Structure 1
Amino acid sequence: MSKIKHVILSGGVGSRLWPLSRKNQPKQYLNLFKEGSLFGMTIKRNQFLTDSLLVVGNKDNYKLSEETLDSMQVAHQQIIEAYPRNTAAAIAFAALASDPTDILLVTPSDHLIIGDEAYAEAITAGVDKARSGYLVTFGIQATKPETGYGYIEYEDDQVRSFREKPNQDTAESFLERGNFLWNSGMFCFRADTLLEELKLHAPNVYSAALKTWKSSHDGWLDGALSKEIPSISIDYAVMERSTKIRVVKTAFEWSDLGSFESLYDYLVDVGHPVDEFGNMSIGTTQYTAFVGLKDTILVSTADALLMVQKEKSQDVKHIYNILERHQSKLIE
């Protein structure tokens, strides 16, 4: 029987959660929850469903991963990217580091999932399909017309199409039609199946990733060779092109916590205070008064203050991008 390997992709920065999330302390390592960090929660959630753990990170955050893994005393392998080249390359490295028949359960490191039994059922279903030679994606039941997620159009376990982040009207139409799921960014497949499909549909990514992997040393990837790999997501490279795709419709609660709106919803659920107009402060114990404002989030850190209306929270990434262009220390 093939082994099941949990592959955690931990290279994200979480720019929409600035100023809480920074390059040197991305959102997946922040202890925002009573259970600890999202990274640690991801490890625990999958420990008893898989046989081994592989973390694909980068030179900026691998030590943060090591600290969590060591504190949890979890055996693991790490692949460290000098220059991250998106998820197609990261997953290719994981497959190249595995036995061909290994089943790879690929998950982000920064998602919030509630419902252990429903999660285990979904993973078991995904592993079964992966053993049959399919590339499996996991779809989340859409509960609102979310414009910050990609969507999967489906029928039974067949994927009819992948849709990019829609505008509000399109998202509402997806919800009304009822055959669209949120794209969770979680996948399951045999290592050799993924590499075969990557070689078929994105040969330039495959060849450059293989060359880089062959030159790696103790999990560290060469920077110059990494720069030659096209930066493309696994969705574009393989999932939207392959004929071997299947989807598992899940029943657990899920959030990518990719914005202050989703963090706000979580914090409200666990009892974080808001005023009578839905305003919330995060990161400060100082008395904070909101006058003439509604559904506004105040985020306070030692060196920055952010005020954002909840429904505009996706736009925080623009502030991060401006600071990045100016090489500001506020994102470090």
Structure 2
Amino acid sequence: MKKRISNIEFLRILSMIMIVISHISLYTNWEGISNLSPYSTVRLLGFDTLGPIGAVLFFMIPGFFARDYDVDKAIYKSLYKIKSVWIKTFLYSVCILFICYLLSLTKIGLKKAVVAFFPFSFNEYWFVTAYILLILSSPFINYILFKCSEKQTNYLVLMLFLLLFLELVNNSLVSRYFLALESYIIGFKVNFYKEKINSYKWTIWLSLIAFCLIDVCTIYFSRAIGMEFSHSAHFTQYVLAVVIATFIFTLFSVTQPLYSKIINTLAKGMFAVYLVTSNPNFQDYFYNSIIQMNKYQDKFYLPLVEILVTILICLFFGLLDVCLTSIFKIFKKVK
């Protein structure tokens, strides 16, 4: 059995850390947000810019491992993957619904119950829905990519990137699918041209630092020109996120291959971290009644607490999912 490259598997962990810390920044009920200065907005929402980057990184990973399989074989593999994702998402969605109901963590009406039982039909998790659509179409995407020349794939990447700028598609799910598709193709290209890329490592590092600073500056200027607090970190939405994620992904892909059982095992549980922390029935209670990051709003060490808490969240739910999956497999074998 082929070993998983831990460099890329670690990106699953990193991407989820980025998404969770972004949600801490965005969904915490900070005090006095209507009167915050641009500097204070950057301080509280700085990590929110990492969420889109994490999502793009996650979408790049399957593109990196794209192979020129027979289409029928690729369809079978994609359907098997979708089945796994569907079952896990459904089980977490329904279990969290019942836990929230039994512990009275939130009001559960008929609408919330229906959404929980049909998470894909009602787009309970946009990230999961876009991911499933991406995997579903990946056999045909791979077929096209392996037939296209480098110039043609470059054109396709540019076209999809421009859609992020122009927001030509108003339907948010379709827009997110285009984002996932753009990320997938970039991951594909990075894998095929990583030998050429390796010689530009320092340039990529400097570009990464520069674009990260620009991303943070957009929060400051967005607030300075009067944008609402919750939208201040989304002035460019996924445009800069795709650029920054590409630099990060490239740097990880050109490093010496690493193989770590610990990293590979933990990476398997990262999808569940998203399913728990982004569940709409549990999200508000989780961030404002359990995490309560607003208690540290005025502390100078707030960023350090956010980083530490995020890592602990990912470790806890990631390892919990690995354990539950192992128990499920044992019961399956017994049957």
Q: TM-score range by the shorter chain?
A: under 0.3
By percentage of residues, which structure has more helix? 2
TM-score, structure 1 as length reference: 0.25
Asked which structure has the greater RCO (Cα within 8 Å, sep 6+), the reply is 2
TM-score, structure 2 as length reference: 0.25
By percentage of residues, which structure has more strand? 1
